[in-house]
Amino acid sequence: MKYTKFLEFEVLDMGDKNWCYDDGTKHYNFGDIETCDGVIDIGACYGGFTLAASSRTKANIVAVEPVWDTVLTHNLKKNKVQRCTVIPSAISDRKETIGVNWNGCDRIVETVTMGEVLAMFPTAKKLFVKCDCEGGEWNLLPEHFKNVSRVEIEFHLLKNGSAIAKAVNPDLVKFLESEYRVFPHKEIIRDTNGIARPFSLWKKSEYPDKKNAPGLGPLQI
C-alpha cells in the first residue's frame, strides 16, 4: 500500500482523491476541541477531520461514514487511534436500507439515527459535532442538539433531492439560530449535490464571549 502525509499523520494515498483529506478540515474550525470533548464526525470520508480531532481530545470519537469506511478504518489503525468507533452507515431519521454514491463509489448501506449515535456518549460533559453528509443533515432534529456545545456543519440546498434527506427543515434552522451563535463560512460551494455552505455554531449559554464576535449571521445559504 502507498501512503502520504496529512498533517502529522500517515494515511492511505488515494491519488487524485487526496483532496478529501484537506476537505475534512479546511471548512471547519476544530482548534477549540478540548481534551474532554466527545466528538461526532458525520460524513467522515477518509478521516481528515476525525484524525485532526484525535490529536486534541482524549475522549471518545464516533465517525459515521457510509462509503469510504474501510479507508477511514485503515487510516485510524495506521495512526494508532484507538478511541474511535466507525459506523459504516448513512445518517437518517429512520432505519432503512439505501443506496449511496459519493466521489465515484457506490454502496448499499443501513442507516443510523442521530439518536443512536448520541446514545454512545452517555457520560460526555461536552459534545462537538462535525457534519458534512451531502444533504443528510436535514434529517437531524432540534432534539439532537440539546446537549451539543459546538457544531461545525455544512448545509445544502439540494439540486435533485435525496433519498434520505428532506429538502429543508425549518424547525431545525429556527432552533439552531435560537440556541447558537451562528457564523456562516464566507465560501458558498457549488457542486453536483447543489449549493452548500459550512457554518460554525457555538451554544449561546456556553460561549457568551461569541455574542459580538465578527462574522455573526443567520443560518442562510
Q: For residue 64, what is the domain's CATH number? A: 3.40.50.150
Report the amino acid identity of residue 49: F
pLDDT in tens, the chain (221 residues): 999 999 999 999 999 999 999 999 999 999 999 999 999 999 999 999 999 999 999 999 999 999 999 999 999 999 999 999 999 999 998 899 999 887 778 899 999 999 999 999 998 889 999 999 988 999 999 999 999 999 999 999 877 666 667 778 999 999 999 999 999 999 898 877 778 999 999 999 999 999 999 999 999 88
- The SS3 call for residue 220 is coil
> Is 141 within a domain?
yes
Q: Which range marks the domain in which residue 130 is found? A: 32-210
* Nearest one of 198, 169, 166, 164 to 184, comparing CA atoms: 198
* Nearest one of 144, 126, 155 to 33, comparing CA atoms: 126
> Is 11 within a domain?
no
> Is 14 within a domain?
no
